[in-house]
C-alpha cells in the first residue's frame, strides 16, 4: 500500500498544505466525551457493534464514535487525506497497514504541524507493556521514533516467520509424481519440469489445459525467479524499485547485468508458454480462479506467500493438499537467494490528534497498551476464548516444539464480528506466534501454520547477507525533499514494473542491446541519480 498512499499524498499536497495551516491550530473538539476514531470497517458488521469494541469500551471507559472507511486502500487513503486537509479529522486513528496508513513523510509533516500529538510521555506513564515491548524489540522503538525524538504514530510489529519470505514457489507434487519428476533445484531443472507440466497431461484429462506457472500482479512472480540471478527485494504495486546495498552505497539492481540475465531467463519461459503472462496483470481473484478451476486441476505452480492464496482450503477434491514449496533454485552461476521482508513496518497505524482531550489520550493509549500484551493480542486479533481459541493443555505441541504452548486456535466463523483482527495486530513476535498449538498434520486447515513453517525453513538459509539488503523501511525522509523523493520513487518503480512486463511479454526485446540501453536511459531520465542521492542521505543518517 505504500505507493497508493504516496500517490495520494502527492496528489493532495496542495490541498493538504492549505488545510494543515488551519488544522494545526484547531483546538480540541467538544465531542461530549466520545473518542472519535477513524478506521476501516469490513463486511462482517460495524465497528460500533463489534464485540471487542464493546468489551474495551467497558474495560477502558471509552465511548467510541466511529468514522469508518472500507478495506479498499485507495478509497481509505483518499478519505483519510480529505479529512486531514479539511480539518475535520478525528481524535484517533486505528488503521490497517495493508489498507492505508500514515507514511513517514506524513507522520513528520502532521507531527511537526501539531496535528498528531507526541505519544512518548503517554507511553512512559500509561503504557508499561508497550514500553517493555520497545525494550524487547529495539528495532520497533527505532522505527516509530522520528528524527526529532518524538513518537507521533505507532506501527504494527510482526515477526510472522512465513511472511518474512513472501516470494515462494508452490508446486503441484501430485503432478511431479505422475510424471516421475523431482522438485527442481536449478533454473534449467525448473524449465524441464514446466515443460513436462505443459506437454505431459499431468491432470490426465487428455486436454492441453495445464497452466505450468502463474501468479498475480500483487505478488511479483519475477522475484522468485530473479533470485537465481541476483537479489530481488520485496516487490509489489506499492513497493519501491529493487534497491540493494553495494558496500555502503545504495544502488538500483534493476539496471544491472545480472538483472538483465534474470529477465532473459524469465522471458524465455514465457516464450515457451511455460509462464502465464497474465501473472503480470491479473489480481488475486483471477489467480484463484485458475487454482479452483473446473473439474480438472489445471494449475501446476504459482509464486505466492502461501497456497490458500490460489486454491481454496479444504477443496472437495483435495487439491489444496497437492502443493508444496520449492526451495530457492540456483542460477547458472550458483546464485540462490530468497526475498526477505523485515518485521519493521514504516506505516503508522495508531495516532492521536490535537482534537483529542487529555483523558481521551490516556484512555486510547491504555487500550493500545492492552493490544501489546499476549492476552490483548489473542482476544483482539482472533476473537473470544472458546470461539476462536482455547488455552493450551498438557500434551499440546507448540508450533516451535522448544516453546511452551500457550493457546490453540480453533475453527472460527469468518463472518463473526467479535474481533478487530488486522486492525489490532500490534504485537506479533516470533515467540508469541510460535507458541500457538498447531496439529502435526500439515495438510489440514488446522495444521496449515505448521505447513507454512516447514516451507519457510527451506527459504531461511538463502536470506541474503545484511550487506546486500537496503533497509529502506528504516529511513526517515527530510521534509524539505520528501515530496520530491516520493514522486521520484513512484515514477521509477512504476516504469520498471511496466517495462519488465513488456520485456517478458515480448513487447520489448530483452536480447536487443539497444532496447536494454533505452530502458536504462529512461530510468536515468526519470531522475535516478537524484533519487539515489536522497536515499543515500537518509541512509547515512541512520
Phi then psi for 93, rounded to 5 degrees? -120, 130
Q: Return the pLDDT at 31.
A: 58
**Rounded distance, CA 171 to CA 307, Å?**
9
Write out the H or E segment, with its range, that includes residue 245.
strand 243-246
Q: Return the pLDDT at 529.
A: 98
pLDDT in tens, the chain (542 residues): 333 322 233 233 223 333 333 333 334 445 578 999 999 999 999 999 999 999 999 999 999 999 999 999 889 999 999 999 999 999 999 999 989 999 999 999 999 999 999 999 999 999 999 999 999 999 999 999 999 999 999 999 999 999 999 999 999 999 999 999 999 999 999 999 999 999 999 999 999 999 999 999 999 999 999 999 999 999 888 789 999 999 999 999 999 999 999 999 999 999 999 999 999 999 999 999 999 999 899 999 999 999 999 999 999 999 999 999 999 999 999 999 999 999 999 999 999 999 999 999 999 999 999 999 999 999 999 999 999 999 999 999 999 999 999 999 997 787 899 999 999 999 999 999 999 999 999 999 999 999 999 999 999 999 999 999 999 999 999 989 998 999 999 999 999 999 999 999 999 999 999 999 999 999 999 999 999 999 999 999 99
Closest CA to 84 of 351, 346, 481, 425: 351
Q: What angle do CA 196, 327, 171 make, to 5 degrees?
A: 40
Closest CA to 251 of 238, 224, 233: 233
DSSP per-residue letters across 194-209: HHHHHHS-TT-SSSS-
Kindly tell me the burial class for residue 457, based on how many C-beta atoms sit within 10 Å of its own C-beta (0-12, 13-18, 19 or more): middle
CA quadruple 508, 512, 514, 517: dihedral sign: positive
87 — alpha (psi -120 to 50), left (phi > 0) or beta? left
**Rounded distance, CA 313 to CA 487, Å?**
40
Report the predicted TM-score, pTM, of the whole model to 2 decimal places: 0.88
What separation in angstroms does the CA of 521 have from each of 293, 503, 516, 527, 529? 42, 15, 9, 10, 12
The gap from C-alpha 103 to its chain's centroid, in whole angstroms, comes to: 14
CA quadruple 319, 457, 339, 506: dihedral sign: negative
**Rounded distance, CA 414 to CA 314, Å?**
15
What separation in angstroms does the CA of 425 have from each of 19, 40, 400, 407, 483? 31, 14, 20, 16, 29
Q: What does the DSSP 8-state code read for residue 398?
A: B
Cell of 295: 473439474
Kindly tell me the burial class for residue 423, based on how many C-beta atoms sit within 10 Å of its own C-beta (0-12, 13-18, 19 or more): buried
**Rounded distance, CA 524 to CA 530, Å?**
9
Write out the H or E segment, with its range, that includes residue 69.
strand 64-69
Q: What does the DSSP 8-state code read for residue 459?
A: T
CA quadruple 437, 442, 447, 448: dihedral sign: positive
Write out the H or E segment, with its range, that includes residue 94.
strand 92-94
**Rounded distance, CA 181 to CA 191, Å?**
12
Amino acid at each position: 500500500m505504500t505507493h497508493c498512499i504516496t500517490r495520494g499524498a502527492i496528489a493532495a499536497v496542495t490541498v493538504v498544505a492549505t488545510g494543515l495551516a488551519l488544522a494545526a491550530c484547531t483546538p480540541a473538539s467538544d465531542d461530549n466525551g466520545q473518542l472519535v476514531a477513524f478506521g476501516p470497517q469490513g463486511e462482517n458488521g460495524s465497528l460500533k457493534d463489534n464485540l471487542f469494541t464493546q468489551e474495551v469500551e467497558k474495560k477502558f471507559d471509552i465511548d467510541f464514535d466511529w468514522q469508518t472507511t472500507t478495506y479498499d486502500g485507495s478509497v481509505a487513503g483518499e478519505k483519510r487525506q480529505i479529512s486531514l486537509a479539511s480539518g475535520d479529522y478525528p481524535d484517533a486513528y486505528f488503521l490497517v497497514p495493508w489498507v492505508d496508513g500514515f507514511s513517514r513523510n506524513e507522520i513528520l509533516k502532521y507531527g511537526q504541524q501539531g496535528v498528531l500529538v507526541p505519544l512518548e510521555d503517554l507511553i512512559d506513564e500509561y503504557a508499561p507493556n508497550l514500553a517493555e515491548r520497545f525494550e524487547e524489540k529495539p528495532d520497533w522503538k527505532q522505527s516509530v521514533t522520528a528524527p526529532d525524538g518524538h513518537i507521533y504514530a505507532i506501527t504494527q510489529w510482526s515477526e510472522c516467520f512465513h511472511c518474512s519470505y513472501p516470494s515462494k514457489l508452490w508446486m503441484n507434487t501430485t503432478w511431479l509424481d505422475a510424471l516421475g519428476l523431482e522438485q527442481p533445484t536449478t533454473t534449467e531443472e525448473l524449465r524441464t519440469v514446466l515443460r513436462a507440466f505443459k506437454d505431459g497431461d499431468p491432470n490426465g484429462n487428455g486436454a492441453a489445459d495445464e497452466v505450468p506457472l502463474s501468479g498475480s500482479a500483487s505478488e511479483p512472480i519475477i522475484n522468485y525467479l530473479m533470485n537465481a540471478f541476483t537479489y530481488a527485494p520485496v516487490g509489489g504495486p506499492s513497493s519501491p524499485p529493487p534497491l540493494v546495498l553495494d558496500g555502503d552505497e545504495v544502488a538500483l539492481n534493476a539496471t544491472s547485468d545480472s538483472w538483465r540475465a534474470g529477465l532473459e531467463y524469465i522471458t524465455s519461459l514465457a516464450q515457451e508458454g511455460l509462464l502465464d503472462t497474465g501473472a503480470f496483470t491479473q489480481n488475486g481473484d483471477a489467480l484463484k480462479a485458475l487454482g479452483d478451476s473446473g473439474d480438472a486441476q489445471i494449475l501446476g505452480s504459482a509464486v505466492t506467500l502461501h497456497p490458500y492464496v490460489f486454491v481454496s482450503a479444504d477443496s472437495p477434491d483435495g487439491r489444496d493438499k497437492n502443493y508444496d514449496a520449492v526451495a530457492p533454485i540456483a542460477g547458472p552461476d550458483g546464485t540462490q537467494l530468497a526475498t526477505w521482508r523485515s518485521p519493521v513496518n514504516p506505516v503508522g497505524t495508531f495516532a492521536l490528534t490535537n482534537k483529542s482531550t487529555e483523558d481521551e489520550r490516556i484512555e486510547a493509549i491504555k487500550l493500545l497498551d492492552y493490544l501489546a500484551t499476549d492476552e490483548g493480542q489473542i482476544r483482539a486479533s482472533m476473537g473470544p476464548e472458546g470461539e476462536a481459541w482455547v488455552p493450551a493443555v498438557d500434551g499440546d505441541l507448540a508450533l516451535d516444539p522448544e516453546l511452551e504452548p500457550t493457546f490453540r486456535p480453533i475453527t472460527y466463523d469468518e463472518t463473526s464480528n467479535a474481533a478487530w483482527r488486522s486492525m489490532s495486530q500490534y504485537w506479533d513476535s516470533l515467540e508469541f506466534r510460535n507458541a500457538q498449538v498447531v496439529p502435526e498434520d500439515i495438510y489440514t486447515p488446522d495444521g496449515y501454520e505448521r505447513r507454512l513453517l516447514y516451507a519457510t525453513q527451506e527459504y531461511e538459509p538463502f536470506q541474503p547477507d545484511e550487506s546486500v539488503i537496503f533497509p529502506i523501511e528504516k529511513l526517515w525522509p527530510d521534509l524539505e525533499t520528501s515530496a520530491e523523493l516520493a514522486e521520484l520513487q513512484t515514477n521509477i518503480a512504476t516504469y520498471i514494473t511496466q517495462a519488465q512486463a513488456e520485456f517478458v511479454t515480448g513487447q520489448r526485446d530483452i536480447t536487443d542491446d539497444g532496447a536494454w540501453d533505452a530502458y536504462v536511459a529512461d530510468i536515468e531520465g526519470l531522475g535516478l541519480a537524484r533519487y539515489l542521492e536522497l536515499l543515500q542521505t537518509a541512509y547515512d543518517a541512520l
